[in-house]
């Protein structure tokens, strides 16, 4: 199963990123385990020093950027986890 982690201390940007991830997954019809990591030490151990961070299947996919729903969808497509969601 796809595993996505949102890394951040709980700031508004981190909360928004989690919502955007969940919306992107819904729009792509994907199921995933989405978890939040708020422990600053654990976030730093992952190599993320700017939040929010996004980890997809154990790989840091984004750090320090609040990705939009569309950006999350493109990231998942780039990782080969979703087909193209563009409509003609």
Backbone angles phi, psi at 2, to 5 degrees: -65, 135
Q: Which of 11, 5, 2, 18 is nearest to 47 (CA)?
A: 5
Catalytic residue among 14, 24, 43, 67: 14
Residue 78 designated active-site: no
Q: Between β-strands 32-37 and 53-56, what pairing exists: parallel, antiparallel or unpaired? A: unpaired
Known catalytic membership, residue 11: yes
> Pick the catalytic residue: 10, 11, 45, 49?
11
Catalytic residues: 11, 14
């Amino acid at each position: 199963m796809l595993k996505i982690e949102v890394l951040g201390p709980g700031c508004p940007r981190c909360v928004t990123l989690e919502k955007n991830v969940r919306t992107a997954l819904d729009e792509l019809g994907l199921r995933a385990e989405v978890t939040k990591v708020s422990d600053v030490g654990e976030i730093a151990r992952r190599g993320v020093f700017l939040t929010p961070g996004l980890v997809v299947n154990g790989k840091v996919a984004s750090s320090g950027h609040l990705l939009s729903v569309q950006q999350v969808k493109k990231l998942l497509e780039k990782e080969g986890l979703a087909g193209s969601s563009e409509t003609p």
